[in-house]
Amino acid sequence: MPRDLSLANGRLLVNFDAFYNLRDIYYPHVGQVNQSHGCKSRVGLWVNGKFSWINGEGWERQLVYADDTLVTRVTAANRELGVIVTARDAIDFNLDVLVRRFEVHNLDNRGAREMRLFIHYSFAFWGNTIGDAAFYHPEARALVAYKDTCYVLMNALRAEEPGWDSWTVGHKDIDLDTGSWSDAEDGELGRNPVAFGSVDCVGAIHLGQVLPGSTVAAHAWAAVGEDLAAVLELDRQVVERHPGNLIDRISDYWRAWVNKEAGEDSRFVHLSPGLQQLYKRSLLTVRAQIDGGGAVIAAADSDIASPYREQAFVRSPPEFDPFHGHENYSYAWGRDGAFVAEALDRAGYGGVSRQFLSFCARVLFHDVEKDWGYMFQRYRPNGSVASNVIPWVDSEGIAQLPIQEDETALVLHALWKHYQISRDWELITPLYRTMVKPIGNFLRDYRDAQTGLPLPSQDLWEERQGVHAFTVATVWAGLHAAANFTEMFGERDLAQEYRDAAQGIKRAAETYLYDDEEGRFVRTVDVRDGKVVSRDTVVDVSLFGLWYFNLFDVADPRIQRTMEAVIRHLAVPTLVGGVARYEADSYLLDHREGLSRVPGNPWVHGTLWVAQYHIRKARTLADLKPAEDILEWVKKWALPSGALSEQLNAHTGEVTGATPLTWTHASFITAIHDYLDRYAELSA
């Protein structure tokens, strides 16, 4: 299930699903560790003897954000109960506290009714429920749950009086969908003071008699810290400052942050109001997915494994690789982060990009003997190497590096892009010897001696080993970045070595990646002993990299024929539209009988790459129309909250895959800047 709403401050991240269940509580890093592990924490309402959870039937829910903020604006209406509940949720930018404001409006005009609000929290500390504990703290009148070095204190405030009116802690069974939350359904809580093992908690706020047509308000919060003293201090600060004031200051902070550049750039008037809003929402979403230590998380959607596992073993063809059914996207990939860094730099948030680039410098693997530096496939937010699906030997048992070489190249390319915009000399100077030269040496040397092509590595989709067009283009760009830096530092001979290697790669790309019969470039080649053993002619949207990273000019007829093939073969011929990842892509495809044939599900960031192609090759303002249409298409298929997914169901348009996907939002930001820059050039 997608995560409609994400809130974060660089240490604490929470997600809400479409039913307003609080599903994920990541701490002490964004994306690491999920202290609720996808368990549902719910909100319920008792009205004159009738009870209903907001995640249940009978509720009309709308989950959006307050404009230009990382503060939710949730509305839930229940006509049977005769109530409308509105909620505002926010994580303080400085304090590790989720602050919540609830307003309950009585729609019934027949008289006053007694109402009680119930707020439930469910945990699986450090990824499991073994040894979890919860208790009621009488002095704070709060609930506390904990294990090891993660404590969560839950409290409330009504009529300026802090503390729960009633409460209980207990045991839950996730498989049977039972827990102490069911104790709330009669409007009373048993006040069990302590529990251990698989625990959950419920607190009640007694709203009293609510008059017809009137509204009552209450606040709640969850403070997260390393020990009891820390969360008690946070609780004290929330009470002292008042939770309502905290929500207001959080709103003000994010409005100022997101309008730092967009609010002053007159070019944005060329965008529709909807695109302007989605642009700012994308900036906020990307920011929420970045850890305070600089790691850019691909997605923090903990549900991602469930549908993948089902499709891997039930609905997908036999050749489907079920790897993703056992994993999630809460990792830092160098590739995703590099695209995000470019987007943030162009949007004026170079300080955030700087954190990511510094993170890469810290985690870069150094082969001291060869003076190489390269990135492993992915990392955990704390900088440790994450699980890797790429083997250290090939199918014949010969040693190979378990990498996607494009990630290493893109990090260096992103560093150069960052420098071009920021002139951040203080960052570049210490990274020159520890990052720039080791990566440059690696890209220069990690090539086939006969062809000059990069050696085989895993493709960007993590599906095949080989020499890939996208990777070749990124290595070329990375080598030019290395050459630019080394020239700045006076090492001209070394810079020439990097440029010579890049030139050799371009010649090899023209020789081996271009297929005369197809009249275009191919996505992957298998070259042995200087000869092409096979060419993978499947049309793949990642071929955009050949012009995007300037290996070839966008006006090159070979590139134009290649991109024409991408558009022709990968356009999804349904009412949903968009562009598929590659031909016959079965990943998460809806295989129900009777559905029309499609090349695959439309991938949102892949579709945006096609928009960027139209922008790059535009020679008149009219030529920008296809790109405008794609940008509006992206807006059309965003969730009401503005969250963008990895892909869409080709037949229904339902969001599919990780949602929100950080890479998708970054691609939208970059496409907007490409459009605005090109519009300005063509208007001059």
pLDDT in tens, 570-606: 999 999 999 999 999 999 999 887 778 999 999 999 9
> Which pLDDT does position 529 carry in this prediction?
82
Average pLDDT over residues 180-187: 93
> Which pLDDT does position 314 carry in this prediction?
32
Residue 104 backbone phi and psi in degrees, to 5: -115, 120
**Alpha-carbon gap, residue 642 to 365, rounded angstroms:** 37
Closest CA to 414 of 492, 327, 353: 353
Contact, 73 vs 64, CB < 8 A? yes
| Average per-residue pLDDT for the chain | 94
3 state SS of 146: strand
Domain ranges of the chain: 5-248, 334-570
Dig out the tokens for 387 from the structure.
Answer: 């699980």
Dig out the tokens for 208 from the structure.
Answer: 């009293």
> Which pLDDT does position 264 carry in this prediction?
67
Quickly name the fold that domain 5-248 has.
Beta-galactosidase; Chain A, domain 5 (2.70.98)
Q: What's the burial of 309, exposed, middle or buried (CB within 10 Å: 0-12/13-18/19+)?
A: middle
Closest CA to 72 of 288, 263, 264: 288
Residue 312 scores a pLDDT above 60: no
Place 265 in a pLDDT band, splitting at 50, 70 and 90: confident
Closest CA to 357 of 258, 299, 240, 435: 435
3 state SS of 136: strand
Place 307 in a pLDDT band, splitting at 50, 70 and 90: very low
The residue type found at 554 is V
Average pLDDT over residues 373-386: 98
Q: What's the burial of 581, exposed, middle or buried (CB within 10 Å: 0-12/13-18/19+)?
A: buried
Tens-place pLDDT, residues 218-252: 999 999 999 999 999 999 999 999 999 999 999 99
Find tokens 């892009």 and name the residue. 417
Residue 176 scores a pLDDT above 70: no
Candidate from 325-329, 418-422, 539-543, 636-640 with smallest mean pLDDT: 325-329
> Which pLDDT does position 305 carry in this prediction?
58
> Which pLDDT does position 174 carry in this prediction?
66
Dig out the tokens for 167 from the structure.
Answer: 């409460």
Closest CA to 403 of 452, 340, 335: 335
Average pLDDT over residues 646-663: 96
Alpha helices in 123-267 (DSSP H): 228-241, 243-262
Percentage of the chain exceeding pLDDT 70: 95
Q: Domain 334-570: give its CATH architecture.
A: Alpha/alpha barrel (1.50)
> Which pLDDT does position 586 carry in this prediction?
94
DSSP label of 526: E
Residue 133 scores a pLDDT above 80: yes
Q: Which residues of 379-392 are buried (b: 16+ CB within 10 A; e: fewer)?
A: bbbebeebeeeeee
53: part of which helix (H) or strand (E)? strand 50-53
Q: 610-615 long-range contacts, Cβ below 8 Å, gap at least 24?
A: 610/541, 610/544, 610/563, 610/566, 610/567, 610/579, 611/671, 611/675, 612/544, 612/548, 612/670, 612/671, 612/674, 613/544, 613/547, 613/554, 613/563, 615/671, 615/674, 615/675, 615/678
Cis check: omega of the bond before 579, within 30 degrees of 0: no
Dig out the tokens for 273 from the structure.
Answer: 């109001």
**Alpha-carbon gap, residue 684 to 681, rounded angstroms:** 5
